[in-house]
């Protein structure tokens, strides 16, 4: 049987600092893992609602039994949509994936299906908060442009 690999997934919508932070957080969980057994999947400048080729490749690798461990900074790096997150949860359970959230303060993946499914509501809440922040920032930008006319 072919050895399964450890996947690290990073996603950023803005800058390289975010990627570096995510990779740095993953390092502590990679100690003792041979470099040849690590696969990096990434989506740069990708909103959670856009097409994410790196995430799609990760899901394909998990579905085809090439991955047994996933390290990701936080749930919101996978998605900010509760229904989509529930699909990920089902895949992780079905394929017995060891999921590690590496971000400081990130709640660990819970292997009690009911609890992890409830975590999906937090993913949705995060999306709502981000959406509000973006709308406020856009309004502020518009006001500043009007003032500087």
Contact between 68 and 6 (Cβ < 8 Å): yes
pLDDT at 114 over 80: yes
Contact between 11 and 82 (Cβ < 8 Å): no
36 phi/psi in degrees, rounded to 5: -70, -10
SS3 state at 10: strand
Task: Give the pLDDT band (50/70/90) at residue 80.
Answer: confident
pTM of the model: 0.80
Q: Residue range 121-138: average pLDDT? A: 63
| Distant-in-sequence, close-in-space partners of 53: CB < 8 Å, separation ≥ 6 | 43
Q: Please state the domain extents for the chain.
A: 5-147
Rg over alpha carbons for the chain, rounded to the nearest Å, is 17
Q: How far apart are CA 21 and CA 16, in angstroms?
A: 9
Exposure string over 80-109, b if 16+ CB within 10 A, otherwise e: bebebbbebbeebeebebebbbbbeebeeb
SS3 state at 65: coil
Overall CATH class of domain 5-147: alpha beta
Per-residue pLDDT tens digits for 117-129? 888 777 666 656 6
Per-residue pLDDT tens digits for 7-48? 999 998 776 678 889 999 999 999 999 999 999 999 987 665
pLDDT (0 to 100) of residue 1: 44
pLDDT (0 to 100) of residue 121: 75
pLDDT at 134 over 60: no
**Extended beta strands in the chain, E state:** 5-12, 38-44, 67-72, 98-101
């Amino acid at each position: 049987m072919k050895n399964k690999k450890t996947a690290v997934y990073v996603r950023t919508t803005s800058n390289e600092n975010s990627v570096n932070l995510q990779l740095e957080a993953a390092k502590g969980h990679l100690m003792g893992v041979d470099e040849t057994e690590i696969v990096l999947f990434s989506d740069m400048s990708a909103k959670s609602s856009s097409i994410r080729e790196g995430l799609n490749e990760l899901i394909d690798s998990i579905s085809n039994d090439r991955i047994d461990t996933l390290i990701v900074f936080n749930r919101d790096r996978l998605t900010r949509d509760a229904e989509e997150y529930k699909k990920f949860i089902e895949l992780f359970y079905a394929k017995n994936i060891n999921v590690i959230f590496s971000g400081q303060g990130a709640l660990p993946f819970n292997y009690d299906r009911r609890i992890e499914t409830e975590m999906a509501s937090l993913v949705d809440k995060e999306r709502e908060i981000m959406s509000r922040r973006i709308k406020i920032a856009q309004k502020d930008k518009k006001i500043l442009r009007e003032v500087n006319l």
